[in-house]
Amino acid sequence: MAQYTQWFSTRKDTGTAWFLSGLALVAIVVPILNLLVPASSSFHVSAFGLTLIGKYLCYSLLALSVDLIWGYCGILSLGQAAFFALGGYAMGMYLMREIGPRGVYGNPILPDFMVFLNWKTLPWFWHGFNHFSFALFMAMFAPAFLALAFGWFAFRSRVTGVYLSIITQALTYALMLAFFRNDMGFGGNNGFTDFKDILGFDLHSDKVHVVLLVITAIMVALSYLLCRMVVSSRAGRVIRAVRDAESRTRFLGYRVESYKLWVFVLSAVLAGIAGALYVPQIGIINPSEFSPINSIEVVIWVAVGGRGTLYGAAAGAILVNYAKTYFTSTIPEAWYYALGALFVLVTLFLPRGITGLLSGGGFKKQVETERLRVQEKSPEGSQE
């Protein structure tokens, strides 16, 4: 009997082991292929390749955050890109301040777009962003604060299901419109770009990108382990209980709203970190990162990979984005159709995504197998 959970947890560990080894491999091999293998070799990873892999890793962290809130807690957040973008903007503000007098207009304090708008002084909310540590703090605090405020109202009023999904979409859309405005002080539709360096290290150098990639891989691994700790704790089981039978959980004496809020804030922080890692590698952040379609895409990555398993979500993000890179460079017009078709197919035939496929069918299949097992053990099929 004990072997059932053991089997279950070993299987989970296998996925974790694969995922973490994969990350370690990327963090070791890719730097070698970039720095040591000559550019003439076909094994050489170009600067573009580095950026691409870095992007995939950031997306896998974003997917983890969606899996936590959706796969485990059952809250379909379609506004996760908002937290990602806020983290990105916080990092972008630091990188803008870091440019200093090297901008086109040479103003040591004001970023170029402010000079262009004829602003004379730095807005109050830009203060402090010349410090890297403050920017890092804000990359986590701003998403956390938004999630806390939004979640507090939404969960307390017991907004659930599709209604919650819709208002999270509205949230990210509203933020997109706000960030598009020049007078918001975030660079309008151009956002931030033309970064020069990070902590004094040149952002145009491959070495710096390699270091950023390794840091990203480490952050993904740490976040993964944090998520794993949360979902395998008793709190993690309460979260799944909320997903499967919310009012039952409430009548057991759990304050469901508070659990949802904790998970939502944690997932927002993870998304913020992903955004903060994304911006220095990609070199640009603009309001299109808030666009509703981005949040929906993340949900598709998680669904394809397998929601409710952390490695599935993370791997799904990498797979789908690799496919996107491939498709958009060969037949760009087909990509969104392919993505849509993928989502429909996965929803219909693979409710547990690719990981479900690998571990032998969907939930129903699993239930069936278990039922047969039980009947074999006790022919009467029920307990005496």
Partner 1 sequence: MSVQGNKTLYLDKLTVSFDGFKALNDLTLQIDPGELRCIIGPNGAGKTTMMDVITGKTRPDSGTVRFGEKLNLLSMSEPEIAQAGICRKFQKPTVFERLTVFENLELALAGDKSFLHTLFTRRTVAQETRIFEVLEIIGLARIHQMMAGVLAHGQKQWLEIGMLLMQEPELLLVDEPVAGMTPQEVERTAELLSSLAGAHSVVVVEHDMEFVRSIARRVTVLHEGHVIAEGDMDQVQNNPRVIEVYLGA
Residue closer to partner 1 by CB (options 196, 243) is: 243
Q: Which of 241, 299, 310, 313 binds partner 1 (CB under 8 A)?
A: 241
Q: Among residues 336, 294, 275, which one has the least CA distance to residue 55? A: 275
Residue 41: phi and psi, rounded to 5, are -70, 150
Strands 284-285, 192-193: pairing is antiparallel
Evaluate the CA torsion angle 55, 58, 63, 66 in order and state its sign: negative
Residue closer to partner 1 by CB (options 25, 252) is: 252
Span interacting with partner 1, options 37-45, 232-240, 292-300, 336-344, rule CB under 8 A = 232-240
* Residue 237 sits in the site that holds partner 1 (CB under 8 A): yes
Q: Are 79 and 171 in contact (CB under 8 A)?
A: yes
Q: What is the Cα–Cα distance from 36 to 225, expressed in whole angstroms? A: 31
Residue type, 34: N
Binding residue count for partner 1, defined by CB under 8 A = 37
Q: Which of 121, 133, 329, 383 binds partner 1 (CB under 8 A)?
A: 383
Return all residues near 314 (Cβ < 8 A) that are at least 6 apart: 19, 60, 61, 63, 64, 67, 220, 224, 305
Minimum separation from the CB atom of position 371 to partner 1 (A): 5
CA-atom Rg of the chain in angstroms = 22
Residue type, 331: I
Site for partner 1 in 266-305 (CB under 8 A): none
* Residue 230 sits in the site that holds partner 1 (CB under 8 A): yes
Minimum separation from the CB atom of position 231 to partner 1 (A): 11
Minimum separation from the CB atom of position 267 to partner 1 (A): 14
Span interacting with partner 1, options 147-155, 242-250, 322-330, 337-345, rule CB under 8 A = 242-250
* Residue 1 sits in the site that holds partner 1 (CB under 8 A): yes
Q: What is the Cα–Cα distance from 155 to 348, expressed in whole angstroms? A: 29
* Residue 196 sits in the site that holds partner 1 (CB under 8 A): no
Residue closer to partner 1 by CB (options 99, 241) is: 241
Return all residues near 363 (Cβ < 8 A) that are at least 6 apart: 351, 352, 356
Q: What is the Cα–Cα distance from 287 to 176, expressed in whole angstroms? A: 5
* Residue 137 sits in the site that holds partner 1 (CB under 8 A): no
Q: Which of 36, 117, 170, 252 binds partner 1 (CB under 8 A)?
A: 252
* Residue 232 sits in the site that holds partner 1 (CB under 8 A): no
Q: Which of 183, 333, 376, 384 binds partner 1 (CB under 8 A)?
A: 384
Q: What is the DSSP string of 113-149?
A: HHHHTT--S--GGGTTTTSHHHHHHHHHHHHHHHHHH
Task: Using DSSP, state whether 202 is helix, strand or coil.
Answer: strand
- Token pair in block for residue 101: 């007098």
* Residue 365 sits in the site that holds partner 1 (CB under 8 A): no
Neighbours of 175 (CB within 10 A): 23
* Residue 199 sits in the site that holds partner 1 (CB under 8 A): no
Q: What is the Cα–Cα distance from 96 to 352, expressed in whole angstroms? A: 42
Q: What is the Cα–Cα distance from 231 to 249, expressed in whole angstroms? A: 16
Residue closer to partner 1 by CB (options 244, 333) is: 244
Span interacting with partner 1, options 45-53, 55-63, 106-114, 361-369, rule CB under 8 A = 361-369
Minimum separation from the CB atom of position 233 to partner 1 (A): 5
* Residue 5 sits in the site that holds partner 1 (CB under 8 A): yes
Span interacting with partner 1, options 93-101, 130-138, 254-262, 278-286, rule CB under 8 A = 254-262
Q: What is the Cα–Cα distance from 13 to 309, expressed in whole angstroms? A: 11
Q: Which of 234, 329, 330, 333 binds partner 1 (CB under 8 A)?
A: 234
Contact positions vs partner 1 (CB under 8 A): 1-2, 4-5, 230, 233-235, 237-238, 240-241, 244-245, 247-256, 258-259, 262, 363, 366-367, 370-371, 374, 381-384
